[in-house]
Amino acid sequence: MFTGFISKKAPFDNLEENLNKFYFLGEPKILNSKQGVFLKSHTFYKQKTNVRIFINTKNEVFLNFSYSFMPNILSWILGICFFPLGFLIFIITNKEKDEFEYFLSSHDF
């Protein structure tokens, strides 16, 4: 429901060897040297982050983060049962996405 994309320059070209740098993304579900999919579950939303390594023509290495924050069933139930104020619960998910974007943009890998 709430998605985004950030690309950052990286000093390495192998995700598996640098897994400890991505502990904050959650549990790795798919992980190889060029791609990783991380899942994290919270009370009101689920977070899914896909990290891919991209090497451009100048041999610069970039990490491409595509992420989504999806309200879970509890959020939907609260949103519908307590309509219209119940939909304010989705502000939590959007706020967490914004904080995640800020963290990624300010964090060096």
Render pLDDT for 71-88 as a digit per residue (tens, 0 to 9). 999 999 999 999 888 888
Q: Report angle CA 66, 70, 73 to the nearest 5 degrees.
A: 160
Number of domains in the chain: 1
- The whole domain housing 28 covers 2-106
Integer-rounded Cα radius of gyration of the chain: 16
Render pLDDT for 45-65 as a digit per residue (tens, 0 to 9). 999 999 999 998 898 899 999
> Average pLDDT of the chain?
90
**Predicted model pTM:** 0.85
pLDDT band at 15 (very low <50, low <70, confident <90, very high): confident
Pair of tokens at residue 80: 């519908």
